[in-house]
Amino acid sequence: MLKRVAATLLSTSLALGATSAAAAETITGAGATFPYPVYSQWADAYQDESGIGLNYQAIGSGGGIQQITAKTVTFGASDAPMKPEELEKNSLVQWPQIMGGVVPVVHIDGIEDGALKLDGETLAGIYQGNISNWNDEAIAELNPDLELPDQQITPVYRAEGSGTNFLFTHYLAQVSEDFANNVGEGKSVAWPSGVGAKANAGVASQVGNTNGAIGYVESAYAEQNNLNVAQLENRSGNFVTAGPDSFQAAASNADWANAEGMYLVLTNQPGDNSWPIVGASFILMHTQVQDADAARRALDFFDWAYQNGDQAASELNYIPMPQDVADMVRQQVWSQIKGPNGQPVWQQ
Amino acid sequence: MTSSRNVSARQQQDLLGANEREQSALRRNGVIDKLFEKGTLTLALAVLVLLATIMGSLVAAGWPAFQELGWSFFTGDRWAANIERFGALPAIYGTLVTSLIAIIIAVPVSLGIAIFLTEMCPVALRRPLGTMVELLAGVPSIIYGMWGVEVLSPFLRDHFPALFPAGTGLTTAGLILAIMIIPFITAITRDVMVTVPPMMRESAYGLGCTTWEVVRNVIFPSVRGGIVGGVILGLGRALGETMAVTFVIGNSLFLNPTLTGQGTSIAALIANQFPEADGLQRSALLLLGLVLFVITFIVLAIARLMLRRIENRAP
Average pLDDT of span A131-154: 93
- Residue A15 confidence class, pLDDT cut points 50, 70, 90: very low
Mean pLDDT of B161-189: 91
Burial degree of B254 (CB within 10 A; 0-12, 13-18, 19+): buried
Task: Starting at the earlier edge strand, list the strands of the sheet with A239-240.
Answer: A117-118, A231-233, A239-240
Tens digits of residue pLDDT in A324-342: 889 999 998 999 999 888 8
Q: Does B240 score more than 70 pLDDT?
A: yes
* pLDDT greater than 70 at residue A320: yes
Whether the per-residue pLDDT at B100 is higher than 80: the answer is yes
User: What is the rounded distance in angstroms from the CA atom of residue A22 to the CA atom of residue A24?
Assistant: 5
Quick one: pLDDT at residue B312? 76
CATH label, B72-313, candidates 1.20.1250.20, 3.30.465.10, 1.10.10.10, 1.10.3720.10? 1.10.3720.10
Q: Is it the case that residue B107 has pLDDT exceeding 80?
A: yes
Q: Do A160 and B168 touch (CB under 8 A)?
A: no
- In the stretch 137-156 of chain A, residues with CB closer than 8 A to chain B read 152, 154, 156
User: B117 versus A37: which is more confidently predicted?
Assistant: B117
DSSP run (H or E) holding B21: helix B20-69
Q: Say whether pLDDT at A3 is over 80.
A: no
Interface of A with B in 244-283 (CB under 8 A): none
Q: Is the pLDDT of residue B266 over 90?
A: yes
pLDDT higher at B288 or B163: B288
Among residues of chain A, what percentage have pLDDT more than 70? Answer: 93
Burial class, A146, CB count within 10 angstroms (exposed 0-12 / middle 13-18 / buried 19+): middle
By Cβ distance, the residue of B154, B165, B254 closest to A154 is B165
Q: What is the pLDDT of residue B37?
A: 93
Q: What are the CA-CA distances from residue B2 to residues B11, B18, B22, B27 (Å)?
A: 14, 19, 19, 17
Find the residue in B nearest to A169 (Cα): B82
Given a cut of 80, whether residue B30 has pLDDT beyond it is: yes
Q: Does A183 touch chain B (CB under 8 A)?
A: yes
CA angle B100, B105, B107 (to 5 degrees): 90
Average pLDDT over every residue of B193-204: 91
| From B37-51, B184-198, B266-280, the region with the lowest mean pLDDT | B266-280
Question: What is the mean predicted confidence (pLDDT) over A213-223?
Answer: 88
Strand partners for A55: A28
Given this model, what pLDDT does residue A134 score? 94
Residue A21 has a pLDDT of 43
What local confidence, expressed as pLDDT, does residue B8 receive? 55
- Sign of torsion over alpha carbons B108, B112, B113, B114: positive
Q: Does B171 touch chain A (CB under 8 A)?
A: no
User: What is the average pLDDT value for chain A, to the nearest integer?
Assistant: 87
> Which chain B residues have a beta carbon less than 8 Å from that of A151?
none
Taking the CA of residue B84 as centre, how many other CA atoms within 13 Å lie in the half-sphere pointing to its CB? 8
Of residues A143 and B315, more confidently modeled: A143
3-state secondary structure of B256: coil
Number of other residues whose CB lies within 10 A of the CB of residue B3: 7
Comparing C-alpha atoms, which of A179, A190, A183 is closest to residue A125? A179
pLDDT at B27: 85
CB contact under 8 A, A196 and B262: yes
Q: In this predicted model, what pLDDT tens digit does every residue of A281-290 receive, in sequence order?
A: 999 999 999 8
Say yes or no to pLDDT of A35 above 70: yes
Q: What is the pLDDT of residue A200?
A: 80
Per-residue pLDDT averaged across A53-60, rounded?
Answer: 87
Give me the pLDDT at residue A202, please.
84
Q: Alpha-carbon Rg of chain A, whole angstroms?
A: 23
Cα Rg, chain B, nearest whole Å: 27
Report how far residue B134's alpha carbon sits from residue A180's, in angstroms, rounded to the nearest whole number: 51
Minimum CA–CA partner of B269 in chain A? A160
Contact B82 A197 (CB under 8 A): no
Statement: residue B220 has pLDDT above 80:
yes
Q: How many CB atoms lie within 10 A of CB A56?
A: 23
CA distance B150 to chain A (A): 9
Give the pLDDT of residue B79.
93
Burial class (CB in 10 A: 0-12, 13-18, 19+), B62: buried
A·B CB contacts under 8 A: 95
Residues near A26 by beta carbon (within 8 Å), at least 6 away in sequence = A52, A53, A54, A55
Reply yes or no on whether the pLDDT at A151 is more than 50. yes
The residue ranges of every structural domain in chain B are 2-69, 72-313
Measured between CB atoms, does A190 come within 8 Å of chain B?
yes
Residue of A nearest to B271 (CA): A160
A188 vs B contacts (CB less than 8 Å)? 81-82, 272-273, 276, 281
pLDDT bracket for residue A19 (50, 70, 90): very low
Mean pLDDT of B105-126: 93
A255 pLDDT band, cuts 50/70/90, is: confident
Please give the full DSSP string across A30-95, using - where no structure is assigned. EE-STTHHHHHHHHHHHHHHHS-EEEEE---HHHHHHHHHTTSSSEEEESSPPPHHHHHHTTEEEE
pLDDT at B1: 43
Beta carbons of A198 and A219 less than 8 angstroms apart: no
Structure confidence at residue A304 (pLDDT)? 94
pLDDT of residue B112: 94
The yes-or-no verdict on residue B3 having pLDDT over 90 is no
Domains of chain A: 2-100+277-336 (3.40.190.10), 102-250 (3.40.190.10)
∠ CA B49-B51-B57, rounded to 5°: 95
On the question of pLDDT at B314 being above 60, the answer is no
> What is the mean pLDDT of the segment spanning A262-277?
89
Find which of B77, B79, B82 to mutate to test the A interface (most A CBs within 10 Å of its CB).
Answer: B82
Q: How confident is the model at residue A20, as a pLDDT?
A: 43
* Res A11: pLDDT: 53
Residue A137: which pLDDT band, with cuts at 50, 70 and 90?
very high
Rounded to two decimals, the pTM is 0.80
To the nearest whole Å, the CA of A300 is away from the closest chain B CA by 29
Mean pLDDT of chain B: 88
Q: Kindly determine whether residue B167 and residue A160, on different chains, have CB atoms separated by under 8 Å.
A: no
